[in-house]
Amino acid sequence: MSKSAAETPEATKQAGTVAIVASRYNSKYTDALVKSASETLAALAPDLEVEVTRVPGAFEIPVLVEAVACKDVQPLAILALGVIIRGSTAHADLIAQSITQSLQKTGVSHLIPVIHEVLLVENTEQAEARSIGDELNRGREAAEAAVAMIDVMADVL
């Protein structure tokens, strides 16, 4: 896994909505991801409205992402945020694989950037480093990727 993020994109002048769909499970980490993503979006995309919806757990994220993508007025991007901490069984891997496939399918079928930051980590230390820390903050990175993709999609569509 990379330990460095892509360059921070330039601020965008695009107007519209960005949806954040986040798990409530492992709330210490998911709350931090949502906060960081929201702050970054406010800084890089001040004309975008951010709508945050919480779901019980990571497995529920894809169904809501699909529902948001099916709205009459689609958001310009959807951020999927959650934290899965691997246990002693294969359950976490199965959940993570299912989420990844579902999110990719939604993004491709609706031609909307779905930014996947449902993290599968080994332990709470990794969860903290990727959600609360500054260096590897995946909430910030998700927002930066969304802003970059919003501009790319505006140029293509």
Active site members: 91
Whole-angstrom distance, CA of residue 61 vs CA of residue 157: 27
> Do residues 66 and 109 make contact, with C-beta atoms less than 8 angstroms apart?
no
CA distances to 26, 58, 85, 86, 92 from 89, rounded to whole Å, are: 18, 17, 11, 8, 7
Q: How many CA atoms lie within 13 A of 39 on its CB side?
A: 12
Residue among 155, 142, 156 at smallest CA distance from 19 = 142
